[in-house]
Structure 1
Amino acid sequence: MNTSLLTRGPSGGDVFARIIEALRNDGYIILNNVFAIEQLQRLFIDIKATDDRQFHAAGIGREQERHVNDFVRRDRIRWLDRSHAPVVFYLDWAEQLRQRLNRELFLGLFDYECHYAHYSKGAFYKRHVDAFKGLSNRRLSTILYLNPSWQAGDGGELVMYAGEGQTVLETVSPAFGSMALFLSEEFPHEVLPAKRSRYSLTGWFRINNTDSLNLDPPK
């Protein structure tokens, strides 16, 4: 594995250093050109070729409290791991980032979980946070967008808020190859209704909450 290809984006520079500095100062970063066009096309072709039966309705909550709520979110997802060849390069990149984050920011990240997400026309995800303080093992959220030729009128933007109020921090178009990374507990966000199919590869770096009473992740 050529580590330099994982840490340097197609436009050059140390992408991981930019991510670390932004997380240290702001808690989030919006990036473009993290991956080469050939890599992005590989993921797009794969997600488009995925049989719809392999996607399932996304839920809210975790473990025993997890349930589907169409009022809150209407995306469909497919969980991914290293057995799925088209995403291995991306998981290699995530692993290199995990190690670098732990070394420089001492985040104690244990692993990374991710899925494809498909928002069909009209689908949305209302305002939420990816992790509640002290109650979740998700520490850092990542979203890589896989939407060629996305136009301003196509909707589906990620809206990030500054804390509990209504102040909008960022409005992110899900354009092909753009990527958002943010601390999972810190930033409420929503996905506005998509006006055509919207695809992403969404994931979370997690800490390990295993103790004498609980196994994390649960078997």
Structure 2
Amino acid sequence: MNNFTAAEIYLEHIETHGYAVIENAIDSDLISELMADCYRINPHFSLAGIGRLNNLQIDDSVRKDKTYWFDGSSNAQLGYQQVMEAVRTTLNRNFFMGLFDYECHYAKYTQGDFYKKHVDAFKGRSNRVFTTILYLNSPKKGGELVIYKPKSKDIEVVIKPTAGTLVLFESERFVHEVLPAFDNRYSIAGWFRKNASISGIIDPPR
């Protein structure tokens, strides 16, 4: 984050509400590098799936975005992962959460793309603890993130994609959706995870 004050703000919001929305959270030069990295890998974006590993499936009635998982192939990706490592350390230090690692991918929404209501983790069945979304550009229209109140159909907050804004929320707690995009929308979706390993074998990402 930019400074300690920003960290204080998002920690307070997470403790109070379970989520935080931080504007100008990431250095603008890094945002530009990440956006350039998206253009570099544009031909390699794939239709996003639902589920993990052997349960992964494509269902464009639920989501139509395209993704590219970070593979460490650029300085921009490595720089962003360093920022998220600092956030992971801060969350662990303040909330004693035992967050083990971080996985993330670029997400691209073109006109008409959406992601219907869902949760990123099911209670007792996932090791995803905190969801993060970083916006890389500022579409004029569409692609808003809608977060719903826990155990309710009422809306908690609607977030307009704005370059540099970082959203964090508890993965099990909040149902959310992405409204249909009108302009191209680029972001990074990521998850801080606990280690759900068995017999010393580290639980794999995705």
Give the TM-score band, short-chain normalised: over 0.9
Give the CA deviation at 1:83. 3.6
TM-score, normalisation: structure 2:
0.93
Determine the structure 1 residue equivalent to 2:28: 37
For residues 213 and 63 of structure 1, the distance between their equivalents in structure 2, rounded to whole angstroms, comes to 19
Determine the structure 2 residue equivalent to 1:172: 159
Matched, 1:195 2:182: yes
Give the CA deviation at 1:213. 9.1
Show CA shifts across 1:128-184 (max 9, x none).
000001100100000000114x22xx1100000002322100000011111110010
Gaps (5+ residues) in structure 2? none
- The answer on whether the counterparts of 1:81 and 1:114 sit within 8 Å (CA) in structure 2 is no
For residues 81 and 111 of structure 1, the distance between their equivalents in structure 2, rounded to whole angstroms, comes to 15
Report matched runs for 1:56-71 at 5 Å. Answer: 56-71=46-61
For residues 166 and 51 of structure 1, the distance between their equivalents in structure 2, rounded to whole angstroms, comes to 36
Tell me which moved more, 89-98 or 184-193: 89-98
TM-score, normalisation: structure 1:
0.88
- The answer on whether the counterparts of 1:20 and 1:105 sit within 8 Å (CA) in structure 2 is no
- Name the count of aligned residue pairs: 205
Gaps (5+ residues) in structure 1? 1-6
After TM superposition, the runs of 4+ consecutive aligned structure 1 residues lying more than 3 A away are 212-215
For residues 188 and 99 of structure 1, the distance between their equivalents in structure 2, rounded to whole angstroms, comes to 26
- The answer on whether the counterparts of 2:130 and 2:193 sit within 8 Å (CA) in structure 1 is yes
3-state SS of 1:33 partner: coil
- The answer on whether the counterparts of 2:26 and 2:165 sit within 8 Å (CA) in structure 1 is no
- The answer on whether the counterparts of 2:37 and 2:74 sit within 8 Å (CA) in structure 1 is no
Report matched runs for 1:203-214 at 5 Å. Answer: 203-212=190-199
Tell me which moved more, 101-110 or 13-22: 13-22
Matched, 1:130 2:120: yes
